[in-house]
C-alpha cells in the first residue's frame, strides 16, 4: 500500500548534496509517496535502522519525518512552465539526497531509477531519476502523462499513477529494496 503525503520536511543535511558548497538550503518537493511495507519488511527496516548509531539518522529516507516507509515517488508542483529548471533542480536534489541516504544500506548496488512528477499548472510530466553512481540524471518522459483539465487527461494521469503505485512499486521497487537494502 502506498501513502501520499505533503512534505515540508527538509532532507537531513548529512544526505543533502552540496550545491555550490552550500548545504544551508536543502531542496524539498511538494509531495512524497511512500510504500507502506508489510509487517515483515517493516520489521526488517526497523532492525536495519537500529544498527545506525546516530538516532537522528535512523531513517530509511532522506528526511526524519518518514523514517520507516520507503519513498517511491516525489511530486513537485509549479504554476507555470517558466519554472521548469527550478522544478527539475529541486526534484533532482531531493532524490539525490534519498540516494545518498539509501546508499548507506545498499550492497554495492546502484539505486533503482525512481519516478518523479513535475506538475505545471494542470499538466503532469513524468521524470525518471537515474543513479549514475556519482550523479543523478533526470530523464523526462517524452510527453505529458496527463492533465487535470480534460476527462481524458485525468484518466491518463490516474492510469499512470495507478501503474506506478501498484505494478512498478510492487514488481520493480520492492524487489530491488528487499534484495539490495534490507539485511
- Give the burial string for 63-99 (b: 16+ CB within 10 Å, else e): beebebbbbbbbbbebeeeebeeebbebbbbbbbbbb
* pLDDT values of the chain reduced to their tens digit, one per residue, 183 residues: 545 555 556 666 666 665 545 555 656 778 888 899 899 999 999 999 999 998 888 989 887 778 899 989 989 888 776 778 888 888 888 888 888 888 889 877 788 999 999 999 899 999 998 988 777 788 999 999 999 999 999 999 999 999 999 999 999 999 999 999 998
Q: Supply 136's cell numbers.
A: 543523478
User: Taking the domains of the chain in order of start, what are their residue ranges?
Assistant: 2-180
Q: What's the pLDDT score for residue 66?
A: 82
Q: What's the pLDDT score for residue 168?
A: 96
Q: Supply 62's cell numbers.
A: 532522506
Q: What's the pLDDT score for residue 86?
A: 82
The residues, ordered by sequence, that sit 6+ positions from 44 with a Cβ below 8 Å of its Cβ are 178, 182, 183
Q: What's the pLDDT score for residue 94?
A: 84
Q: What's the pLDDT score for residue 27?
A: 65
Helix (H) or strand (E) holding 118: strand 114-120
pTM, rounded to two decimals: 0.84
Q: What's the pLDDT score for residue 103?
A: 87
How long, in residues, is the chain?
183
Tell me the C-alpha distance between 26 and 18, whole Å. 9
Q: What's the pLDDT score for residue 11?
A: 64
Q: What's the pLDDT score for residue 9?
A: 62
Amino acid at each position: 500500500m502506498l501513502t501520499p503525503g505533503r512534505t515540508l520536511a527538509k532532507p537531513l543535511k548529512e544526505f543533502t548534496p552540496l550545491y555550490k558548497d552550500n548545504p544551508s538550503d536543502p531542496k524539498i518537493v511538494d509531495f512524497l509517496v511512500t510504500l507502506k511495507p508489510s509487517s515483515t519488511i517493516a520489521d526488517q527496516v526497523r532492525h536495519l535502522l537500529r544498527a545506525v548509531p546516530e538516532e537522528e539518522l535512523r531513517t530509511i529516507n532522506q528526511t526524519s519525518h518518514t523514517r520507516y516507509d520507503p519513498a517511491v515517488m516525489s511530486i513537485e508542483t509549479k504554476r507555470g512552465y517558466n519554472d521548469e529548471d527550478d522544478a527539475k533542480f529541486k526534484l533532482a536534489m531531493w532524490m539525490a539526497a534519498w540516494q545518498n541516504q539509501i546508499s548507506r544500506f545498499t550492497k554495492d548496488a546502484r539505486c533503482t531509477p525512481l519516478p518523479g512528477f513535475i506538475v505545471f499548472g494542470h499538466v503532469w510530466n513524468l521524470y525518471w531519476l537515474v543513479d549514475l553512481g556519482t550523479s543523478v540524471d533526470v530523464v523526462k518522459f517524452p510527453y505529458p502523462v496527463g492533465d487535470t483539465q480534460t476527462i481524458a487527461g485525468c484518466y491518463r494521469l490516474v492510469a499512470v499513477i495507478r501503474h506506478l503505485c501498484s505494478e512498478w512499486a510492487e514488481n520493480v521497487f520492492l524487489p530491488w529494496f528487499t534484495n539490495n537494502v534490507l539485511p
